[in-house]
Amino acid sequence: MIELTINGKVVQVEPGTTVLQAAQKLGVKIPTLCYDERLSSPGACRLCIVEIEGMRGLPASCVTQATQGMIVYTHSEKVMEARKTILELLLANHPLDCLTCEKSGDCKLQDYCYEYGVAQTSFEGEKHVFELDDTNPYIIRDNNKCILCGKCVRACSEIKGASVLDFSQRGFNTKVTPAFDTPLADSDCVYCHNCVAVCPVGALMPKELLGKGRRWEMKKEPVTCTFCEAGCNFFLCKSKRDNRVLGVLAESAGPGRPLCLKGRLGLNFAYNPDCVEKPLLKVDGEFIPVEWAEALGLGPIVEKLKNL
């Protein structure tokens, strides 16, 4: 085991553990935008920077391995100032439309700006004006809100194995797109929503939840999917007002398993007026609704259940 000190507290971790993971073990919260424990870490956003004695600069804790005797400060004055500057730089090219943004209340950039007291940016400059990708029935892609953390790119290749999304262009013009900058509808995207689930801002939004309320007006209810025998677990997103099912919120369907499109979007049956609610018994060529007790008491069903 390796022993290091974080904010004056000693912690022991396995070799290969990052400083971020060691801090998490101690319950110390370091802000992250591009890190996800299920994905590889590119150290892209730099928000997880920390101060380490004897080390130059402020290394990103998600890609810095813990070493024996390391002394780390996660919230020193220098670190806090640098994080504020990073947030300001992100805001410099981010639409400040939190009042109407669908992601408001569930946006990591918004949360961190609140936490670090960053209300506006002091950096002036050119802003992106990308076209909204609204060409498919499931996902809205707004590259103007993208912070280039690359989580969607990695989720697409590392969780789904599809590699539909990637970075294109360079420098200020960099953006995440399918190949040849086509809209999602013209790409090989199967709308699995793994990219949507990991997006920390409002760059990728599920269409089925648009306009249905703020996240704090919704509650999450755990369910087990019944569409197939895999029995994936996910959360039904329900309105706190009338308990109505609004959509599905799920980062995964279970350990190492992404939720499929059927589980994620197959909710129409819940409020289908033609939904059959009682067993139907065929009498003289016509289907008549009967009680379950009556239907289950019928000879052939009893025999079939007994032979299961």
Interface ranges with ligand FES (CB under 6 A): 32-35, 43-48, 60, 62
Shortest reach from residue 182's CB to ligand FES, in Å: 28
Q: Are 86 and 60 in contact (CB under 8 A)?
A: no
Shortest reach from residue 112's CB to ligand FES, in Å: 11
| 254: β partners | 257
Shortest reach from residue 41's CB to ligand FES, in Å: 7
Q: Are 25 and 14 in contact (CB under 8 A)?
A: no
Q: Which two tokens stand for residue 115?
A: 């936490």
Shortest reach from residue 289's CB to ligand FES, in Å: 56
Q: Which two tokens stand for residue 227?
A: 């569409």
**Shorter beta-carbon distance to ligand FES: residue 141 or 154:** 154
User: How far apart, in Å, do the first and last CA atoms of the chain sit?
Assistant: 52
The alpha-helical segments, DSSP class H, found in the chain are: 19-25, 77-91, 108-115, 151-154, 194-198, 261-265, 292-296, 299-306
**Shorter beta-carbon distance to ligand FES: residue 45 or 205:** 45
**Shorter beta-carbon distance to ligand FES: residue 58 or 218:** 58
Shortest reach from residue 217's CB to ligand FES, in Å: 29
**Shorter beta-carbon distance to ligand FES: residue 134 or 251:** 251
Radius of gyration of the chain (CA): 25
Shortest reach from residue 31's CB to ligand FES, in Å: 8
**Shorter beta-carbon distance to ligand FES: residue 60 or 248:** 60
The alpha-helical segments, DSSP class H, found in 181-232 are: 194-198
Q: In a 10 Å sphere around its CB, with 0-12 CB exposed, 13-18 middle and 19+ buried, how is residue 42 labelled?
A: middle
**Shorter beta-carbon distance to ligand FES: residue 48 or 91:** 48
